[in-house]
Chains A and B, each alone.
Chain A
């Protein structure tokens, strides 16, 4: 085996902002093989570097960006950058996964990961050009929106660069500010506020070294095989490439007025249907190496915006009762330009409006602002006020559960979050409990991208009707009989996708997340591709174990943040919770969680791992932190007095 790592870039770049220094460290082969890259590598680094109980907005926090083992290669859709940190929104692991050009260009410059530590005394940005790393003054860039930021850095460094950075929301420490890549791709969970707290505005990169592969011929043949699958698919051509995730408006039942109900395809109000958004489309675009192009470019209320996805339409449209297409688009664009997560923004506004309508939130709390369903102009204004923490926006900027905490105990009861992250509420009977279980077990809090959508292969079924059968015959448990098993395997699939740097498909399918799964299910295809890229003899078992190892390490990280068995709850409206039906649902949910923990090799009573589980997964290094230890109960991140935040 060659000494030099092939496939991977081979170098980790540590940016110490306190000392204004960039330090290069080799990526160790053992770590690379065990954690693959991307999300796995970030988890490993965070576990090593983040001390339990720190304030996420203090200089002690660590920000990791990693591009994945296969990033920047000719395998399609390997364009994802994984951003991980201790989340200022939730106080547990906070990670987001973004597209654009950044992951590929960082890899082409020779890096697998950038780790940012400390805090700069003045605004800075990092310029990377292959081996050259400079920490530069960013006082002129501070205050710019993400659109302006990227344009300014292109003016300075040329237009073949990629940029990750923050907008005004990150600078103002909005707790759900995102890491923004190339203007509009977002890595959420409050990672943007961590950039802001470190006085770091952006990282810009040009990479001209490329990726060296162990077996380029085999790799290229596999890449073409993978590509052909997507090129030939009718669903992709006629739906996915045509309307992107607007498909979800018909398939995914968006919540209406703070989850009062979920809208079926025939209930979608005019203004929120795919053809309504098509009226404002001026073109389409996509991430690096993507053959699909799920993203639209639109013009709304006089400005050009990018990628109006299902999530933004559901969170800023349907769930606020807003049906004016242009306003939904404009709010989406403002969230991108200011650098905030659309889902948490929308859900925080929806929660506020719901509480206001119920009288739990008063005019005194809102500083006189009246909150009404469908009042697009007020919501649009509040998006801006939130980004700059102006007036009532300062409270909204704390984000969903933290916002409710500021209001009252009563308000907290209406938070449908798990571990501080919001994703609506569902009955435990819906899809045999797949939704409720996967929201409870997701390592960043209730969320749909850590396994949920893969467990019940809804979109696979539409894209390739033959595929579910193949998945079920090859190791994916059938959620109709074994939802716990289906969720566990799907969680591994997502961990693998995020670690090799592959897009999980904005419509969430197996063939996107797991290359060649349609031909070599479930993990054989990834093993082949990884072997051709790196030269390491990966087996399907190695890949599966890596997925499990990465997932369990995230659970360990959260244990140190005080996550216990009681935090695997089922969010339900209080009116339902205190009924027989509600109690029955909670009981059923708890049984599923117990079963889940048992199968993961954890103690179902404490949600701590058994020593042999850590040994089996090669996570012994975590034993002394975890086994026999106890941490203070998780209560969310430490919140600052509202007047301590930068406000504009």
Chain B
């Protein structure tokens, strides 16, 4: 039997449980690519609401068998081994948007110049990952990144109940977190004093 191992292909992985919905990834993406701070020009979109504790970032998954690349009538979409990104060759692209229609994630759009917008993983150093405050977006070789997410998920999954479309965690987790916070504050006080004089 052939030896089976975790892949070393680079992936942009999403840990949905960590995303708080701050939109900084969108703003960074648009600023980097267009110099304009506009979430509608971002290649990553966070689906959330101001009051929602549940936030879902959506970005090109760089699929192994990518529908966008398959349907492109002029073969303008190619895979880049180095970064793990499917890239659009602007010189070839005819702007038919076929790729956008077949994308199962709706991760392809069009900018004001009529050019197709798709995540290019910033040439191997994605800005969204750099600005994400909570490591909800992680980029790296699959064999490093995916086990990390698996472990986090396993911890969390035990306590998830879906009620009124809100993530309901077991209170023990939040209570423990609060207790830890209080403990840490007392530790700070040991250094700086409890109250200013």
A-side residues, CB < 8 A to B, are 72-74, 76, 100-101, 104, 108, 159, 162, 182-185, 208-213, 216-217, 219-220, 223-224, 227, 230-231, 234-235, 238-239, 242-243, 246-247, 250-251, 265, 273-275, 277-293, 297, 299, 304, 306, 431, 456-458, 461-462, 465, 480
Contacts and interface: CB of A to CB of B under 8 A. Distances in A.
A242 B177 contact: yes
Interface residues of B, number: 51
Nearest to B50: A182
A210 B24 contact: no
B137 to A, nearest CB: 13
Given A250-B185, A286-B22, A227 B53 contact: no
B180 A242 contact: yes
Given A288-B23, A462-B185, A275 B39 contact: no
B37 A274 contact: no
B126 to A, nearest CB: 13
Contacts of A213: 31, 35-37
A458 B188 CA distance: 12
A245 to B, nearest CB: 12
A333 to B, nearest CB: 11
Residue picked from A162, A182, A283, most chain B C-beta under 10 Å: A283
22 contacts: A73-B37, A74-B24, A74-B28, A74-B31, A108-B39, A162-B50, A219-B31, A220-B31, A227-B133, A231-B133, A243-B182, A280-B171, A282-B169, A283-B168, A285-B20, A285-B52, A288-B23, A289-B23, A291-B24, A297-B52, A431-B197, A462-B185
Contacts of B38: 108, 208-211
A247 B56 CA distance: 28
A101 B32 CA distance: 22
A231 B134 CA distance: 8
Contacts of A250: 182, 185
A284 B123 CA distance: 33
Interface in B33-58: 35-41, 49-54
Contacts of B51: 182-184, 285, 297, 306
A289 B22 contact: yes
Contacts of A278: 171, 174-175, 177-178
Given A76-B22, A243-B181, A277-B178, 17 more contacts: A72-B37, A73-B37, A74-B37, A182-B50, A185-B50, A210-B36, A210-B41, A220-B31, A242-B177, A243-B177, A265-B194, A278-B177, A281-B171, A286-B22, A291-B22, A458-B196, A465-B188
Interface string B106-142: 0000000000000000000000001101100000000
Q: State the majority secondary structure of interface residues on A.
A: mixed
Contacts of A182: 49-51
Contact of A274 (B36, B49, B178): B178
Nearest to A163: B50
Contact of B21 (A210, A223, A277, A285): A285
A632 B185 CA distance: 50
B168 A282 contact: yes
Nearest to B197: A480
Contacts of B36: 210-213, 216
Contact of A239 (B166, B184, B196): B184
Interface string B3-42: 0000000000000000011111001101110011111110
B167 interface: yes
Contacts of A208: 38, 40
Given A76-B24, A247-B185, A282 B53 contact: yes
A81 B159 CA distance: 36
Residue picked from B22, B40, B171, B175, most chain A C-beta under 10 Å: B22
Nearest to A266: B194
A220 B178 contact: no
B179 interface: yes
B53 A285 contact: yes
Nearest to B54: A283
A456 B196 contact: yes
Nearest to A209: B38
Interface in B153-189: 164, 166-169, 171, 174-175, 177-182, 184-185, 188-189
Residue picked from A76, A211, A242, A279, most chain B C-beta under 10 Å: A242
B21 A286 contact: yes
B191 interface: yes
B2 interface: no
B192 interface: yes
Contacts of B24: 74, 76, 227, 289, 291
